[in-house]
Chains A and B, each alone.
Chain A
Amino acid sequence: MDITFDKVSHIYQKNTPFEYKALEDVSFHISSGSYVAIIGHTGSGKSTLIQHLNGLLKPTEGKIQMGNFVLTADKKQKDIMKLRKQVGVVFQYPEHQLFEESIEKDIKFGPQNFGVEPEVINQRLPEVLKSVQLSDQLLSRSPFDLSGGQMRRVAIAGVLIMEPNLLVLDEPTAGLDPRGQKEIMDMFYRLHKEKNRTTVLVTHSMEDALQYADHVIIMDHGKLYMEGNPIEVFRQRDALQKVGLDVPEVIDFLDSFEKTFQKPIDYHGQSMDELAEVIARIVEGGHQRE
C-alpha cells in the first residue's frame, strides 16, 4: 500500500487554551512493500502519526493518501471503516486489549466484526497460529491464563488474521525477553516478505531499525526531522545527537575503532562474522607493516 503524507498537521483541542500541535507540516512517501521504521523521542509525534494510518485520527490540515483511500479533515467516519479493513495495528502492550472468554474467540473477533465469512476465518486460523507459534491445543482456553509473552502472541494473531495490506507495529516487543523479542521481530519480517506487505515499525531500538527497515523516518517535536536509508541516516551522528538519539552500537563501535586505529571500516550491513574478520586483519597487521 503506497502511503503519501502531504503537508499533514494535527492539532489536539484546537481553538481551546489547551491547543497542542502534535504534527506540523509533515510530508513523506512510503512505497508499497517497504519496511519503514519511525524513530523519535517521547512527544516527538510518532504515536499521533501512526494513529492517522488507520483513521483513528484525521489530519487537521493536509491530506493523506493510502492506496486508493484519501484521508482529510472532512472525511466521514463510515468511509474510514474501509481503510481499517486494510490496516492492522499492533499497539503497545496489545495483550491489554484481550477480552474474550477463549483464545479462539479473541483471535476471530476482528475479522468477524468486519463481516469476513466464518469459513474464510477458519481457513486463515491455522496459518496465523503457526506464525505466532501458538499451539491449537490452547484455543479453547482463556487468554488470561497465559503468560505475558503468550498473551502478546494471541493479540498479534488477532491482527494478522485480518490479512492487512499495511501492518503498523508500535514497539511490539516491549517487555519481552531477548529470545521472545527476536522471535517476534523475525516473524514480522518473514511475513512482510511472504505477504508482500507494507510494514511500519515504531521503535526506540536503533538496532531493530538497522536490521529490518529499508527506510527510516526520524521525528522531532512534531516535525519530520530526517528520513532515508537506515545506514545513511545512522551515519549522521551529530544530527541524531542533536535530537537526543544515539547511533546504533555497531556504528558507534566502528567510529571509535577508526579513531583508535586510524583505519575506517565502512559499514554496509555486514554480519558480526564479517566485521570480526576485517577488525582481526587490521589488529594483526601490527605497527611495523604500516
Chain B
Amino acid sequence: MEPRHYIEFQDVSFQYPNSEDWALKGVSFHIKPNEWVAIIGHNGSGKSTIAKLMNGLLSPQQGTIHVQELPINQETIWDVRKKVGMVFQNPDNQFVGTTVIDDVAFGLENHGIPREDMQKRISYSLKAVNMEEYVNHEPHNLSGGQKQRVAIASVLAVEPELIILDEATAMLDPKGRNSIMNTVHQVRQDRDVSVVTITHDLNEVLFADRVIVMNEGNVWFEGTPREVFQKHDELQAIGLDTPFVTQLSRHLNKLGISLHKEPLTHKDLMDELWTLHSTR
C-alpha cells in the first residue's frame, strides 16, 4: 500500500554553522505522493533550507525527516537521493557533460544503470522536456530555459519520485519560465511524481495543489493557492505579494462588488464580474 505521506518533516530545526539564528524552528509538514506543493516566503525564511534537507544535502540538528517512511540518515542517504531529484537556480552551475546526452547519462552512470536501460531513459526524458533534437549540442550554447529543461531531463532519467525545483526559473526570461512550468505539467500527465517548487513567482504558485508559506523559519500557513491569496493583507505584512487578480478583487470588494469565490485567474474574475453584471 502506498504511504499516506511521501515526505514528512516532524519538528525539524536547523541552524547553519556560525549563525546565531535558527534557519528552521520546529517545522512540521508533509507532502503527499503525486502532489504539487509550492513553498513561498521572504528571502531567509527557510525555503531553500527545506529543499536541501529533503535530499540530505543538509541534516537537521533536531527532529526527523522521513521519505516514504524511510528516515534520512547516513545509511539511507543514497537511497533517498535516488528518489529525490533537485534542479537548482543557476542553469550554468549544473552541467557536467560536454554534450546534452552525456549530461543526462552522467546521473545514470552514477546510479549504475545498465546501458540498454540508460538509452531508453535518456531518450524518454529528453523527449519529455522537448529537447530530443539537441542530444549532441553543447550545453553552453543553449538558452537558459533550454539548459534548465536539460537539467530537468537529467533528474527525470533517474526516475525520481519527487522533483524539487529550487527557484529553478528565477534566472530565466518569461518565455523560459513558461516552458519549464509547462514541461513539469506535461511530465506529470505521463507519470506519477511529486513536485516541490520553491519560488517567488506568483504565477508558478498557481500551478500547485497546495502552498506552504514560510516566515522566519516557521510554517506560517498551509493551504490551496486560493486559501493562501485570501490572506492578502497578512501576506503583504510578511513581505510577500499577491497576484494582480487578487489585488484588483480586494479593491473591487471595498467598492461593494462582492466576489464570492477568491478569483485566481483573469477568467475567474471576469466570469464573476459578468455574472454580477447580468443579474443586475
Contacts and interface: CB of A to CB of B under 8 A. Distances in A.
B91 to A, nearest CB: 11
Interface in B36-91: 41-44, 89
A179 B167 contact: no
Contacts of A256: 266, 270
Contacts of B119: none
Contacts of B266: 252-253, 256
Contacts of B170: 174-175
B94 to A, nearest CB: 16
Interface in A231-281: 244-246, 249-250, 252-253, 256-257, 260-261, 272-273, 275-277, 279-280
Given A178-B200, A256-B270, A286 B167 contact: no
Contacts of B257: 279-280, 283-284
14 contacts: A177-B41, A177-B200, A178-B239, A179-B42, A180-B43, A180-B239, A182-B241, A204-B173, A253-B248, A276-B248, A279-B273, A283-B257, A284-B277, A287-B277
B173 A280 contact: no
B187 interface: no
Contacts of B120: none
Contacts of B239: 177-180
B255 A277 contact: yes
A180 B41 CA distance: 12
A280 B143 contact: no
B173 A41 contact: yes
A182 B239 CA distance: 10
A135 interface: no
B255 A276 contact: yes
Is chain A's interface secondary structure helix, strand, loop, or mixed overall? helix
A148 interface: yes
Interface of A: 41-43, 147-149, 174-180, 182, 204, 244-246, 249-250, 252-253, 256-257, 260-261, 272-273, 275-277, 279-280, 282-288
A18 to B, nearest CB: 11
A288 B247 contact: no
A273 B252 CA distance: 8
A182 to B, nearest CB: 8
Contact of A279 (B244, B245, B252): B252
Interface in B255-273: 255-257, 266, 269-270, 273
A204 B174 contact: yes
B240 interface: yes
A72 to B, nearest CB: 31
Given A42-B173, A42-B176, A246-B174, A283 B240 contact: no
Given A177-B200, A204-B174, A287 B278 contact: yes
Given A256-B270, A260-B274, A276-B255, A41 B175 contact: yes
B251 interface: yes
A280 B174 contact: no
Given A42-B144, A177-B239, A179-B42, 12 more contacts: A148-B43, A174-B171, A175-B167, A175-B170, A177-B42, A204-B173, A253-B245, A253-B248, A272-B248, A276-B252, A279-B252, A280-B252
Contacts of B280: 283-288
A178 B240 contact: yes
B240 A261 contact: no
Contacts of A279: 248, 252, 257, 273
A174 B252 CA distance: 31
Interface string B124-150: 000000000000000000011100000
A178 B176 contact: no
B241 to A, nearest CB: 4
Contacts of A261: 273-274, 277
A176 B270 contact: no
A176 B43 CA distance: 7
A38 to B, nearest CB: 13
